[in-house]
A and B are shown apart, each in its own frame.
Chain A
Amino acid sequence: MSKFTKVLKDSYFDSVTLMSLSAKIKKETKASEVTVLMATDMNKDLISKVGLGTDDVLNAGQNDCVIGVACDGDAEEIVNRIVKELEDGNNQKKEKKEVVYHTQAQFYKEEDPNIVVISAPGKYAAREAKIALENGKHVMLFSDNVTEEEELSLKQLACEKELLLMGPDCGTTILNGVGLCFANNVTRGNIGIVGASGTGLQEVTVLIDKQGGGISQALGVGGRDLHSEIGGLMTMQCMKALDQDEQTSTIVVVSKPPASDVEEKVVQLARTLSKPVVLIFIDGQPREDENGVYYCSKLSEGACKAVEVTNHSLKTSFDLSSDVLDVCAREQSKLTPNQKYLRALYCGGTLCSEALSITRGVLKKVKSNLAKKEEEKLSDPLVSEYNTIIDMGDDFFTNGKPHPMIEPSIRLDRIVQEAKDPTTAVILLDFELGYGSHDDPVGITIDAIQEARQIAENEGRYLVFVAYICGTEKEKQSYTTAKKLLEENSVIVTNTNEQAATLAVNVCKEVQ
């Protein structure tokens, strides 16, 4: 039983406030005594009788207020809480005047938020993240241009305090069913995902939803988390947290292939967890599944595996149906002999990577602004050569301009440009729906598609358009309307990004 008292000098709190506050505190903390009394002689006697009399109390005057608590927990903490509430007048019903806060420090004096979303410029972002962590808040760090050293230091601090540091450059998180920044409106369920990639995480959540599964949490950890320097700190912290989470039955990790030492650490951890783990390392080396740890190298493969492991069944198939293949063949036949190449114009970075990896597996002469290998690099990202896969969200394109997921119109000129190139056969486009994205990404693009078709027609050519809409039926932007609009314009719409890329590539394969 701990006891604590405090004297507030010359304090005239009104009785209703005092009583309702004591009652509330008693109910919440289950303390055995919560007394707030004016320090008159009689009351001081009474307070002493119940063992709460201290020198301070005995020396207090009849116009001072005494707060006394006896409980099993931390009495001092409860007293301080009462003092704070009294001094803040939080119990008094009044209109909250518009208070403006400039700094975190000032805000935390008055309020107790649990998570901070930071999109301030990179050079200030790390500092704000540190302040947040030091104050016990979780952080979603949307900003990029944070150095790897800063990232490491922040994640070490976060792990020490068992807090989330999602990022840097983290665009997607679904936390407690709430989509933060870019995220899709997916069914709530029991599959927990940790993702070191933005649209990759989105795709997996969407595909899980399509397969009848649901998401408990989807935590972005930033694209560099699985580099050697960072060592997978946040990925592993999140995996452990999901293992402890009652709502989660299966854990999924999505990322580009980690550095090999980091991959081993992650695998080792996966083996020790109590729940099954699906590791999706996009384009990674194939590995044998073990007991409770599953390896996939494609997003849709991983999504299906996760749902299978959880629900023991899949709702649908992601195989390309024969109808679609027929449509493809028909489209293909309309191409003129000179049209050979694929031009993929992506808004989503990871989806673009997936398309790139599928393309290079099938076609020769593949170029991209994401390429690491010399022979795949484009001499000018603004001009396509051969089969070109472009990530239009890359810094090169977005410097000073909004990201194409927010403003897809920056892609329109490029669509028309590709149409003017007589060697273009297929144009592949992605559209992201959901929180954070544009209100009507398809609507805003449809004119450019029509214009492109017109240009090609005028010169006696035909363009094959393939598209993937990353979204569910529940999004704020209507999925059905978007799909219908594209199909009315003879755009082939697929169910997964993998399908779209595969289809597009296969059309070209025949003519190359």
Chain B
Amino acid sequence: MISVDEYLLSDGRYQGIYHLHSGYKKVLNFVNENRAIVSVVNASISRGPARIQLDEDIDFLTTNKYEALRICERNLHISDEAIPYELWKAKSLKLSFHYDKVQCVIAYLGKRLQQQEQELFDSHSKVDQLIVETIKTNLKQGQLESLLGFGMGLTPLGDDCIFGYLFGMNLFDTSIPDIYSIAKEKTTLISSEFLYHMNQQRISDALYKLGKCLFVDEKNVDDYISEILHYGSSSGYGILLGLKNYLERRSQNV
């Protein structure tokens, strides 16, 4: 059964006819006239905001089927056919800040991130080193805006860090600053859409699982963090780095 984010059917921004924006092995991104992005993902990707998840593990690059998408009120049409679906609602995870527990998580993340850093960045490349330095400095000082659009990747590394930082806020605070309205102008369309959802405090099932895994039941932490670190090329790394920095700054305020 196809799963559809409930927002897609209720938020006016998502109504309309879509055409293809970009396509990858597991994800097809569609855009409509309002510049809203809907991602059609295959079964291997978790459910999440603005996603339509199919029940097959299709490789979109080899498939012959490519269908036109239209959202009309509460109806989802793929190639003019109305499609039955089940609704997905974002799960909310709210945690209390326990200082000691958080220090353990910070230490653990620090270790994992350091290992990954060596693989991701070339110490001989001026560009790479500048990116790492700038990001770390700005994160330490909580200067999120200056990271928008910065770094490599379709979702620039800086954005991923902001995303992770906001995720931390989402877990432990009640409010999140509006970064989306600024993000729209400063970064790629895809990335700003991710930030849009985080601003709405709507997280994907994968992030929900991450929160639980790190702070609540810790089952298979190592494996799951490894999985996250392999998101995109550096996206997973960025998200965890941002999260870690949030936790460190929050620790100072306690």
- State yes or no: do A and B come from one complex: yes
Which A residues form the contact surface with B (CB < 8 A)?
12-16, 18-20, 22, 26, 32-38, 40-43, 46-47, 49-50, 62-63, 68, 89, 92-95
Give the residue among B149, B150, B151 with the most A Cβ atoms within 10 A.
B149
CB-CB under 8 A from A12, the residues of chain B are 21-22, 29, 154, 188, 190
Residue B155, interface by CB 8 Å: yes
CB-CB under 8 A from A38, the residues of chain B are 149, 153-154, 156, 187-188
Residue B74, interface by CB 8 Å: no
**Assembly CA distance A86 to B159 (angstroms):** 23
Residue B39, interface by CB 8 Å: no
A46's nearest neighbour on chain B, judged by CB, is B130
Judge whether B149 and A41 touch: CB under 8 Å.
yes
Cβ-defined partner of A42 (8 Å) among B25, B61, B150, B190: B150
Residue B12, interface by CB 8 Å: no
State how many angstroms separate the Cβ of A73 from the closest Cβ of chain B.
16
Q: Which residues of chain B (133-159) have a CB below 8 Å from chain A?
A: 134, 146-156, 158
CB-CB under 8 A from B152, the residues of chain A are 15, 18-19, 22, 35-37
Judge whether B122 and A26 touch: CB under 8 Å.
yes
**Assembly CA distance A50 to B124 (angstroms):** 13
Judge whether A15 and B154 touch: CB under 8 Å.
yes
**Assembly CA distance A46 to B133 (angstroms):** 12
CB-CB under 8 A from B155, the residues of chain A are 15
Cβ-defined partner of B147 (8 Å) among A16, A32, A42: A42
Main secondary structure of the interface of B (DSSP, over half): loop
Judge whether A46 and B127 touch: CB under 8 Å.
yes
**Assembly CA distance A329 to B186 (angstroms):** 99
**Assembly CA distance A14 to B21 (angstroms):** 12
Cβ-defined partner of B187 (8 Å) among A40, A49, A93: A40
Residue B118, interface by CB 8 Å: no
State how many angstroms separate the Cβ of B241 from the closest Cβ of chain A.
15
Interchain Cβ contacts under 8 Å between A and B, 10 examples: A15-B153, A16-B232, A18-B153, A19-B152, A26-B125, A40-B156, A42-B156, A46-B134, A62-B186, A94-B25
Residue B179, interface by CB 8 Å: no
CB-CB under 8 A from B21, the residues of chain A are 12
Give the residue among B156, B186, B190 with the most A Cβ atoms within 10 A.
B156
B154's nearest neighbour on chain A, judged by CB, is A15
CB-CB under 8 A from A47, the residues of chain B are 127
CB-CB under 8 A from A26, the residues of chain B are 122, 125
CB-CB under 8 A from A50, the residues of chain B are 126-127, 130
Judge whether B156 and A43 touch: CB under 8 Å.
yes
CB-CB under 8 A from A43, the residues of chain B are 149-151, 156
CB-CB under 8 A from A42, the residues of chain B are 146-151, 156, 158, 186
Judge whether A94 and B62 touch: CB under 8 Å.
yes
Cβ-defined partner of B233 (8 Å) among A16, A68, A93, A95: A16
**Assembly CA distance A53 to B189 (angstroms):** 23
State how many angstroms separate the Cβ of B90 from the closest Cβ of chain A.
24
State how many angstroms separate the Cβ of B254 from the closest Cβ of chain A.
31
**Assembly CA distance A35 to B151 (angstroms):** 10
CB-CB under 8 A from A68, the residues of chain B are 127
CB-CB under 8 A from B127, the residues of chain A are 33, 35, 46-47, 50, 68
Give the residue among B29, B134, B146 with the most A Cβ atoms within 10 A.
B134
**Assembly CA distance A89 to B233 (angstroms):** 17
CB-CB under 8 A from B187, the residues of chain A are 38, 40, 62
Residue B234, interface by CB 8 Å: yes
State how many angstroms separate the Cβ of A61 from the closest Cβ of chain B.
9
**Assembly CA distance A18 to B21 (angstroms):** 18
Cβ-defined partner of B153 (8 Å) among A19, A33, A46, A95: A19
B184-223 to A contact mask, C-beta < 8 Å, 1/0: 0011111000000000000000000000000000000000
Which B residues form the contact surface with A (CB < 8 A)?
21-22, 24-25, 29, 59, 61-62, 120, 122, 124-127, 130-131, 134, 146-156, 158, 186-190, 232-235
Judge whether B150 and A40 touch: CB under 8 Å.
yes
A45's nearest neighbour on chain B, judged by CB, is B150
B26's nearest neighbour on chain A, judged by CB, is A14
CB-CB under 8 A from A92, the residues of chain B are 24-25, 61
Give the residue among B22, B127, B156, B186 with the most A Cβ atoms within 10 A.
B127
**Assembly CA distance A92 to B62 (angstroms):** 11
CB-CB under 8 A from B188, the residues of chain A are 12, 38, 40, 62-63
**Assembly CA distance A49 to B126 (angstroms):** 10
Judge whether A19 and B154 touch: CB under 8 Å.
no
CB-CB under 8 A from B24, the residues of chain A are 14, 92
CB-CB under 8 A from B235, the residues of chain A are 15
CB-CB under 8 A from A37, the residues of chain B are 151-152, 156
State how many angstroms separate the Cβ of A278 from the closest Cβ of chain B.
52
**Assembly CA distance A37 to B125 (angstroms):** 14
**Assembly CA distance A503 to B33 (angstroms):** 91
Q: A12-B190, A33-B125 are in contact. Are A95 and B62 (CB under 8 A)?
A: yes
CB-CB under 8 A from B130, the residues of chain A are 46, 49-50
CB-CB under 8 A from A16, the residues of chain B are 232-233
Judge whether A19 and B149 touch: CB under 8 Å.
no
State how many angstroms separate the Cβ of A88 from the closest Cβ of chain B.
13
A96's nearest neighbour on chain B, judged by CB, is B62
State how many angstroms separate the Cβ of A79 from the closest Cβ of chain B.
15
**Assembly CA distance A36 to B234 (angstroms):** 13
Give the residue among A14, A18, A34, A92 with the most B Cβ atoms within 10 A.
A14
**Assembly CA distance A70 to B66 (angstroms):** 40
CB-CB under 8 A from B149, the residues of chain A are 38, 40-43, 62
State how many angstroms separate the Cβ of B104 from the closest Cβ of chain A.
30
CB-CB under 8 A from B120, the residues of chain A are 19
Q: A12-B21, A43-B149 are in contact. Are A19 and B126 (CB under 8 A)?
A: no
Judge whether B125 and A46 touch: CB under 8 Å.
no
State how many angstroms separate the Cβ of B130 from the closest Cβ of chain A.
6
CB-CB under 8 A from B151, the residues of chain A are 37, 42-43
State how many angstroms separate the Cβ of B239 from the closest Cβ of chain A.
13
A94's nearest neighbour on chain B, judged by CB, is B61
Judge whether B150 and A15 touch: CB under 8 Å.
no
A64's nearest neighbour on chain B, judged by CB, is B188
State how many angstroms separate the Cβ of B175 from the closest Cβ of chain A.
26
**Assembly CA distance A63 to B29 (angstroms):** 14
State how many angstroms separate the Cβ of A14 from the closest Cβ of chain B.
5
**Assembly CA distance A15 to B124 (angstroms):** 21
State how many angstroms separate the Cβ of B106 from the closest Cβ of chain A.
26
Beyond A14-B232, A19-B234, A94-B62: 8 further Cβ-contacts under 8 Å? A12-B29, A15-B232, A32-B126, A40-B187, A40-B188, A42-B158, A47-B127, A62-B188
B184's nearest neighbour on chain A, judged by CB, is A62
Q: A26-B122, A33-B127, A50-B126 are in contact. Are A15 and B234 (CB under 8 A)?
A: yes
CB-CB under 8 A from A46, the residues of chain B are 127, 130-131, 134, 150
CB-CB under 8 A from B25, the residues of chain A are 14, 92-94
**Assembly CA distance A89 to B25 (angstroms):** 11
